[in-house]
Amino acid sequence: MALANKKRTGGERLTVILFLSPWLIGLAAFTLYPVVSSLWFSLTQYNVIKAPKFLGLGNYVALVHDKTYLTSLWNSLFMVVFGVTITTAVTILVSIILNNRKIKGLSVFRVIFFIPTLVPVVIVAILWVWILQPQSGLINSVLGIFGITGPGWIASPAWAKPSFILIMLWGAGGSIIIYLAGLQDIPEALYESAVLEGANFAQKTVYITLPMLTPVILYNVITAIIGVLQWFAEPFIITSGGPDNATLFYGLYLYQNAFQFFKMGYASAMAWVMIVIVLALIFTLFRLTKKYGNSE
């Protein structure tokens, strides 16, 4: 009996392993192995042709002295601070408005805000070149109707980063969908009792909606931060980092080091610093929101 039982569990274990095997192999070959070797490469000088040469922490020390690296770090942190904040504020605002019972056409608006995320990145880039074009671009032409001379956008070092914030906003419809789902999970009873106590819209938002939504906000903000630090395709295609390195973002400079200068070790060190930054930001966000919301 005991033997039969053991045999059965052995068979069951094999079944589990067989079903999981695609993921297990993928985890080992395409996640764990690259992560470990990336850490090793980050400690070496490696140009793909010659074997890696051990440098210790040399790459990390070099990063601190690399002015271009520091520019790229600053550019991406600018996008984290301003881009993510503005995007979060706008998407939450839109979601709260859409969630209002008095607003009809929720599903139509939801689709309108979402479809830009479906446009292939290359087409997003082509499209935005023509929206931001200083002379015959869409935005400056619209501003021209009101007699405003628009800025040079991607052609101007001062306006290049704000241009990318606009692109970011246009592609932020996914978080509106996630916020709406989060808003629908907030019990109606909370609002009803607040109304009885005479709370207005602003009070309801600050004391009920935002605290209840904190876990969802946290998820969206973290995803956005990771996305911004990795951001590559649009800046690579639209500006290649220019003008004057104003849009040389972290992910773009990392790519250049790896695949244009073939400094694989250096680029790997950049990737690991990126992980540390992401983890530090996530940790800080969790600490900050613990006091405010009721996130688990």
Interface positions, 233-262, toward another protein (CB under 8 A): 233, 237, 251, 254-255, 258-259
User: How many residues appear in the chain?
Assistant: 296
Q: Which amino acid, one-letter code, is at 278?
A: V
Binding residues among 164-223 for another protein as defined by CB under 8 A: 170, 173-175, 177-182, 185, 201, 216, 219-220, 222-223
Piece of 63-71, 134-142, 157-165, 187-195 that binds another protein (CB under 8 A): 134-142
Half-sphere exposure of 166 (CA within 13 A, CB side): 16
Q: What DSSP designation does 257 have?
A: I
Q: Per rule CB under 8 A, is residue 144 in the interface with another protein?
A: yes
Query: Is 209 in contact with 187 (CB distance < 8 Å)?
Result: no
Nearest-approach distance from CB 185 to another protein, in angstroms: 7
Q: Which of 136, 149, 198, 287 binds another protein (CB under 8 A)?
A: 136
Residue 293: phi and psi, rounded to 5, are -95, -170
Using CB under 8 A as the binding rule, the residues of this chain from 41 to 100 that contact another protein are: 41, 48, 90, 93-94, 97-98, 100
In whole angstroms, give the CA distance from residue 121 to residue 125.
Answer: 6
Pick 160 or 277: Cβ nearer another protein: 277
83 neighbors 164 (Cβ within 8 angstroms): yes
Q: If residue 231 lies in a helix (H) or strand (E), which one and from where to where?
A: none
Listed ranges 64-72, 77-85, 189-197, 231-239: which one lies at the site for another protein (CB under 8 A): 231-239
Q: Which of 86, 194, 275, 285 binds another protein (CB under 8 A)?
A: 275
**Selection from 264, 174, 273, 265 nearest residue 230 by Cα:** 273
DSSP letter, residue 209: I
Residue with tokens 């009885």: 196
Minimum distance of another protein from residue 79's CB (angstroms): 15
Binding segment toward another protein, per CB under 8 A, in 54-62, 78-86, 101-109, 156-164: 101-109
* Contact (CB, 8 A) for 51 and 264: no
Smallest gap from Cβ 294 to another protein, in A, equals 15
Closest CB 126 distance from another protein, rounded Å: 5
Instruction: Please say which residue, 85 or 99, places its beta carbon nearer to another protein.
Output: 99
CA dihedral of residues 234, 236, 239, 242 (deg, nearest 10): 130
Smallest gap from Cβ 165 to another protein, in A, equals: 13
